[in-house]
Structure 1
Amino acid sequence: MAWWPFGGAKDDAPFLTAQWRHLVMLNYEVDADVLTPLVPAGTALDLWQGRALVSVVGFRFLDTRVLGAAIPRHRAFDEVNLRLYVRRDAPGGQTRRGVVFVRELVSRAAVALVARLAYNEPYRALRMRSVTPHGATEPPGRLAYEWRIGGAWETLAATAVGTPAQPEPGSEAAFITRHHWGYTRQRDGGTVEYEVEHPPWRTWTATGATLTMDVGRLYGRAFTPALSRAPTSALIADGSPVIVHAPRRLSAARGVVAGAGAP
């Protein structure tokens, strides 16, 4: 059964369904000491070839439904987030690779509120705008996501080049795009886990990668040195339909999924 902050328990049914499309992913190497304090209990940093990576990701939510219901004026919107990568050794010898969000920006205040209540995710609602294709599956070209903060617009952008392809196994692109779990530290120090289902994404190499922002204001000064440099890599992904499952609380003692009402 899934731990559920609204009271009671839910079966492991979808909490949210949507399409995530037109993803811009700028990737940066960061000192592991910067990330370690942000790693939720029961998980560990997931390194790629010994390097600790973070990604600034922008994308479009389309056809969004919460608990099966379409919310008027909340079916399509932008998100920009900063994520780091973790792993958890689950029972049965399974390794679950996931993401932890440092900050998530959306253009809908209600979306930010629900995400904070349901998952304790670090969402913030800001005025946003984007340049993306009109159709979910059209070639991307140049993609741009912008948000307004402190009286100025900040920007994440890149241009797709070449032909899209599935990332090679073991490549950085495969590492970045194939983390199918989310982990979030709770106010009491515990951790919740949730599954994100989606098929593998095709990716393009990206050029003209741009991140113009006050890093310290949104993400903290510890990220300023790394995110002020050029990214170590830049990708654009086509995206797909996704299913985000309800959160489950991990046992603090064993890092296993606890039942509803467990501490």
Structure 2
Amino acid sequence: MKRFIPFYRKNNEAKSFLKAQWRHLAFANYEVSPDVLQPYLPAGTELDLWNGKCYLSLVAFLFLETKVFGVKVPGHVNFEEVNIRFYVKRLDGNEWKRGVVFVKEIVPRSAIAFIANTFYREKYERLPMMHEFSESDNSKTYKFGWRKNVKWNSFSVDTKKSSADILEGSETEFITEHYFGYSRQTAATSFEYEVKHPRWQQFEVTDYKIDVDFEAVYGNDFAFLKDLEPVSVFLADGSNISVENKIKITN
């Protein structure tokens, strides 16, 4: 394995690639056939199942106070992201590393998309985006939107106002407790990077709405999602996070 470290601190420790806050993470989780995801598996990984079920998630959230290699890029500090991702694992010696693979990540800022696609071989796309948050006496509402061609796609959730712990062994724990990212480089090589954050709290979702042209945004392989109901929807509060430097894996 080869580690790519483009920047160092004065004490010769590698700087994190990215530091930020991830906040108000809305998850819609779908049970899908493993056959759908097999072509997207990076080298050296395999699908990570929960109770024999294969999951894919639509995730929308806010990036806040974003720094790339320790620097705030003007106009790229606070912004939305929407992605679809699935869950994998990789055996590293005697340790199973659990991670995610992003089918596509959508952001409204071109520099973030360029840097992530160039350094990490991720699948970022820049599109116009928006978000709206509101609060009543009994609930909170979070709405994220992104425009593909002429259509505004959206994902919104209504939640209770109080958060709760994520239970050990739960589906929500499975979804949120994956601390590595994997991206395909070639058929025989991939990149691995660590994502560091504390355990999150969750908010119970009382209602949600998903209005997405999955075929237009994510391609024909994922068009079926328009007719599929998610098996669960929740909101995580989020936290400070860091994305560490990548290593190259050869299968």
TM-score of the two chains, using structure 1 as the length reference: 0.87
Give the total of aligned pairs. Answer: 245
Q: Is the 8 A contact 2:159 2:205 kept in 1?
A: yes
Q: Distance in 2 between matches of 1:227 and 1:41?
A: 29
- Which residue of 2 is the match for residue 94 of structure 1? 95
Distance 1:11 1:42, change over 3 A: farther
Say whether residues 1:70 and 2:69 are aligned partners. Answer: no
- Which residue of 2 is the match for residue 218 of structure 1? 217
- Which residue of 1 is the match for residue 44 of structure 2? 42
Structure 2 counterpart of 1:70, one-letter code: K
Q: Distance in 2 between matches of 1:140 and 1:79?
A: 23
Within-5 A mapping of 1:184-263? 184-187=183-186, 189-252=188-251
- Which residue of 1 is the match for residue 177 of structure 2? 178
Q: Is the 8 A contact 2:15 2:70 kept in 1?
A: no
SS of the aligned residue for 1:98 comes to strand
Q: Is the 8 A contact 2:29 2:55 kept in 1?
A: yes
Within-5 A mapping of 1:4-153? 12-91=14-93, 93-132=94-133, 141-153=140-152
Distance 1:19 1:192, change over 3 A: same
Distance 1:86 1:140, change over 3 A: farther
Structure 2 counterpart of 1:234, one-letter code: V
Q: Distance in 2 between matches of 1:159 and 1:53?
A: 22
Structure 2 counterpart of 1:186, one-letter code: Q
Between stretches 192-201 and 208-217, larger displacement belongs to 208-217
Give 1:187 shift: 4.3
Structure 2 counterpart of 1:144, one-letter code: K
Structure 2 counterpart of 1:198, one-letter code: H
Q: Is the 8 A contact 2:4 2:246 kept in 1?
A: yes
Q: Is the 8 A contact 1:207 1:234 kept in 2?
A: no
Q: Is the 8 A contact 2:139 2:160 kept in 1?
A: no
Residue-by-residue CA offset, 1:62-88 (whole Å, 9 max, x unaligned): 000011111111110000000000001
Residue-by-residue CA offset, 1:90-140 (whole Å, 9 max, x unaligned): 12x211110000010001011100110010100000000001369xxxx98
Q: Distance in 2 between matches of 1:95 and 1:232?
A: 26
Distance 1:12 1:86, change over 3 A: farther
Residue-by-residue CA offset, 1:196-230 (whole Å, 9 max, x unaligned): 00000001121322221111122222322234322
Give 1:149 shift: 1.2
Q: Distance in 2 between matches of 1:190 and 1:2?
A: 13
Q: Is the 8 A contact 1:2 1:12 kept in 2?
A: no
SS of the aligned residue for 2:17 comes to strand
Could you list the runs of 5+ residues in structure 2 that have no partner in the other structure?
none
- Which residue of 2 is the match for residue 257 of structure 1? none
Q: Is the 8 A contact 1:29 1:226 kept in 2?
A: no
**RMSD, aligned CA:** 2.2
Distance 1:96 1:140, change over 3 A: farther
Q: Is the 8 A contact 1:132 1:140 kept in 2?
A: no
Identity %: 39
TM-score of the two chains, using structure 2 as the length reference: 0.91
Q: Distance in 2 between matches of 1:42 and 1:84?
A: 15
Q: Is the 8 A contact 2:183 2:191 kept in 1?
A: yes
Q: Is the 8 A contact 1:16 1:244 kept in 2?
A: yes
- Which residue of 2 is the match for residue 256 of structure 1? none
Q: Is the 8 A contact 2:200 2:238 kept in 1?
A: yes
Residue-by-residue CA offset, 1:152-178 (whole Å, 9 max, x unaligned): 211011111263112111100000111
Give 1:189 shift: 4.2
